[in-house]
């Protein structure tokens, strides 16, 4: 039986990988620069299992409790999985993120960074963090202004239990490719500036199912893909 017959998620993953490769080739970027994060929010562990069978090891979750349950479900898995927290983070949930996840993409204020730093268990590697930037979505309360990146980066860089790995953005929904590209390019410029000061900052997390090619063209190093891999989400 072919992969597609017994594992639609595996087939979807293959398609997404091909789209990433095509987008990278169009802008002459090495494919190794781009990590695919499979966003499994609202999807059962059995779907994650299918993605793992198809070779996917990096997963993104938006809801703390749901993510922690999946992390526990797959604890000890070999090869190791990496779990990325990509949802809005309230301070009363920071401990669960610090104790369970490998990455947090949504650090957008000092208080959250301080809590994650204090709550990261000593036995674990430092938590990889990204600063979330509010690049275009004025309606969103998440993310800081471009002009505030420097100050927060400086503070995070002093925290021993966090590693500043880069920037993340969720732009406002936009269907026009050129306009998607323009917004992502602003992020790329901010990322280049950040990297001048923090050489360990190697990650620019941007691009979802509907804007992935533009994100890659602008320089994304990590695309966060849910729908194209796992299908539409049911929030009912």
Question: How many residues are present in the chain?
Answer: 236
Residue number with CB closer to ligand PLP (86 or 131): 86
Among 170, 187, 214, 222, binds ligand PLP (CB under 6 A): 170
- Cα 228 to Cα 172: distance, rounded to the nearest angstrom: 19
| DSSP character at residue 80 | P
Q: Is 226 in the site for ligand PLP (CB under 6 A)?
A: yes
Q: Is 144 in the site for ligand PLP (CB under 6 A)?
A: no
Q: Is the N-terminal amide bond of 220 cis, ω within 30° of 0?
A: no
Q: Which two tokens stand for residue 175?
A: 């269907």
Interface with ligand PLP, residue 227, by CB under 6 A: yes
Q: Which of 62, 180, 203, 220 binds ligand PLP (CB under 6 A)?
A: 62
Q: Which residue is nearest to ligand PLP (CB)?
A: 226
CB 220 within 8 A of CB 186: no
Q: Does residue number 220 form part of the binding site for ligand PLP (CB under 6 A)?
A: no
Strand partners, 131: 107, 167
Window 9-48: residues binding ligand PLP (CB under 6 A): 39, 41
- Using CB under 6 A as the binding rule, whether residue 84 contacts ligand PLP is answered as no
Q: Is 163 in the site for ligand PLP (CB under 6 A)?
A: no
Strand 82-85 to 35-39 pairing: unpaired
Please state the closest distance from residue 187 (CB atom) to ligand PLP, in A.
14
**DSSP string computed for 203-220:** EEE---TTTHHHHHHHT-
Positions in the binding site for ligand PLP (CB under 6 A): 39, 41, 62, 86, 170, 208-210, 224-228
């Amino acid at each position: 039986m072919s992969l597609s017959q017994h594992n639609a998620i595996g087939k979807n993953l293959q398609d997404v990988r091909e789209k990433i490769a095509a987008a990278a080739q169009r802008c002459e970027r090495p494919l190794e620069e781009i990590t695919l994060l499979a966003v499994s929010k609202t999807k059962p562990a059995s779907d994650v299992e299918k993605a793992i069978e198809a070779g996917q090891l990096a997963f993104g979750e938006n809801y703390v409790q749901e993510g922690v349950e999946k992390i526990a479900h797959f604890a000890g898995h070999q090869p190791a999985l990496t779990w990325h927290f990509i949802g809005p983070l309230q301070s009363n949930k920071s401990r669960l993120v610090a104790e369970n996840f490998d990455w947090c993409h949504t650090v957008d204020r000092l208080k959250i960074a301080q809590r994650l730093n204090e709550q990261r268990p000593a036995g674990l590697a430092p938590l990889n963090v990204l600063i979330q930037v509010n690049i275009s979505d004025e309606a969103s309360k998440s993310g800081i202004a471009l002009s505030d990146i420097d100050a927060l980066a400086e503070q995070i860089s002093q925290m021993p239990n966090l590693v500043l790995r880069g920037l993340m953005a969720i732009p406002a929904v936009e269907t026009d490719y050129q306009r998607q590209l323009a917004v992502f390019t602003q992020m790329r410029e901010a990322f280049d500036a950040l990297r001048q000061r923090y050489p360990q900052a190697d990650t620019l997390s941007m691009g979802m199912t509907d804007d992935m090619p533009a994100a890659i063209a602008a320089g994304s190093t990590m695309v966060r893909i849910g729908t194209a891999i796992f299908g539409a989400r049911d929030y009912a």
